Amino acid sequence: MAKYNYHIKDFKKLIVWAKARELAQDIYKIAAKFPNFETHAAKSQIIRSATSIGANIAEGNGQLYPKKQISFLNNALGSASETRHWLIVALDNKYISKEEYDLYDGHLIEITKMLIGLIKKLDYELKTNIA
């Protein structure tokens, strides 16, 4: 039977959450420059997907069981990929510059790598019964 550390975890201490929070703020700023007709399309979608990354990290961190946390971190991975898609749409439609695209896509790749690392760590802990 697996043993679990029953303690309050603070998602605000996770570097990956802090990076996701910063990225979300940047996405709000660039989305503000999108044309008005995009308010209910690309603009709302990129904001929703970008903010979902940090929200899923926080929600996962609040879970008692590692399998649940991994599931939410996996959702955060999906949201990061979706945000990358919307950045491409923004670039294609010239809502953002190539420099902005490269900057934010780089941040998303970094967040993705960090999420994968955290998932692997939790999965290892789960499989070795040290969670």
**76-86 tens-digit pLDDT:** 999 999 999 99
d(CA 61, CA 72): 8
Please give the pLDDT value at position 60: 96
What is the model's pLDDT at position 1? Answer: 47
pTM of this structure: 0.91
In order of start, what are the domains of the chain with their CATH numbers?
Answer: 11-127 (1.20.1440.60)
Q: Which two tokens stand for residue 52?
A: 């979902």
